[in-house]
Amino acid sequence: MSLEQSWVESANARDHDFPIQNLPYGVFSPLDRPDAPPRCCVAIGDMALDLAAIEEAGLLRPGGARGVFAAPALNDFMALGPAAWEAARARLTDLLREGGARDLRDDAALRARALVPLSRARMHLPFRVAGYTDFYAGRQHAWNVGVMFRGPENALPPNWLHMPIGYNGRASTVVVSGTELRRPLGQLKGPDDAAPRLGPSERLDFELEMGAVVGVGNPMGRPVSVSEADEMIFGHVLLNDWSARDIQVWEYQPLGPFQAKAFATTISPWVVTRAALEPFRAPSPPREKPLLPYLHEPGPMLHDVRLEVALAPEGGEETVISRTSSRELYYSSAQQLAHHALCGCAMQTGDLLGSGTISGPERDSFGSLLELTWGGKEPLTLKGGARRAFLQDGDAVVMRGWAQGEGWRVGFGECAGRILPAPDFAG
């Protein structure tokens, strides 16, 4: 992709997350107008472009006479489908590029209404989450966890190399970056305890993931190919699948994660479109076992998104504790979606698919504290001397991601959350 410039000067910085090549979608409300309803936007440089304002001005109308952007979620726009997404991206690029259409640039009054500094914008959950499924598609993470709990001879479950496995999570507790969350309560039972007890999780963790956002669904009873699944995906977010490891280890057999995962999932406020990530396609790794034909890929389906995790104790400086890439996944989002729909499951606009923890091959590229501290046995030392095996109250976790081009990058912003003490509950 060319090094195209925008007349919004801040979008042309080489290390900015939101150049004209990106144009991620979000939902915002202006901080100086607390009663204003949330509405859809795209990020360009250090500004949010109010899509409802330019829709009202007639400069962008993907829904025709029916407006889709004066809404607190992207769902109505996403439901229009890939042709509408492509046309809107082309029109927005033309409105914002240097030398493009001058309708917005030359209209000072509209420009003043429609361009809001991100520093004065409150970001909201970008779409209504219809359903949430979390997969387990990172081989290194699956191997690490298996080695810890079952040993290297049985590290991967028997089905793992044949299909993307996952579980259905809670859409109701998916929250936007910046939301603080309570340490969860649950049943805890040590290996030598005679019975479980009720208490706050003592082994609270993060999981570094990507999330795929389904833009259009499939009818109940109709499977989709990997190629069709790829076309159904509107875009991607950063995702933190917060995990209570001690609650999880007691409850997960025989039906898998439940309360240990249900208390919170954090996503970035910006949905980076599939089109923006197209230049960063990456091939899947060699298959250790042949996949059934329905999971065959027509071409590269992964993306090379550079990822990092930073941890900051309350009042302390942040330390980057992990760096990896989304190309480390074994199964792509399109394969996950195709497998999900195989049984006839109806996917819907606004469904969210978590990738599973993304870990690279080296210790400093692991995507969870469980792995980074090897089950808590080897705590990390942070800047300032604090040590962490698992998260403590007041800790903030910040995830960042970007795909690097030549002279520009497509970024996701931040996916951040801070841990508050557990609620006061006697049971």
136 assigned binding-site residue: yes
DSSP output for 187-220: EE--TT-SS-EEEE-SSEE--EEEEEEE-S---T
User: Catalytic one among 141, 236, 339, 340?
Assistant: 141
Residue positions counted in the chain = 427
Residues 352 and 166: beta-carbon distance below 8 Å: no
DSSP state of 221: T
Backbone φ, ψ for residue 323 (5° rounding): -140, 130
189 assigned binding-site residue: no
Nearest one of 159, 154, 404, 160 to 282, comparing CA atoms: 404
Angle at 118 between CA 16 and CA 272, to 5 degrees: 55
252 assigned binding-site residue: yes
107 assigned binding-site residue: no
DSSP state of 360: -
CA distance 24 to 272: 5
CA distance 85 to 77: 8
Residues 28 and 116: beta-carbon distance below 8 Å: yes
List 365's β-bridge partners, or say none: none
Nearest one of 337, 149, 134 to 241, comparing CA atoms: 134
Residues 202 and 187: beta-carbon distance below 8 Å: no
357 assigned binding-site residue: yes
Q: Is 143 helix (H, G, I), strand (E, B) or coil?
A: helix
Nearest one of 15, 403, 18 to 6, comparing CA atoms: 18
Q: Where are the alpha helices (DSSP H) in 37-128?
A: 51-56, 75-78, 82-96, 108-114
- H or E stretch at 259: helix 259-262
248 assigned binding-site residue: yes
Annotation marks residue 339 as catalytic? no
265 assigned binding-site residue: yes
351 assigned binding-site residue: no
261 assigned binding-site residue: yes
* Known binding positions for Mg(2+): 241, 261, 265
* Known binding positions: 134, 136, 150, 207, 209, 241, 248, 252, 261, 265, 357
Active site amino acids? 141
* Known binding positions for Ca(2+): 134, 207, 209, 241
* Known binding positions for substrate: 136, 150, 248, 252, 357
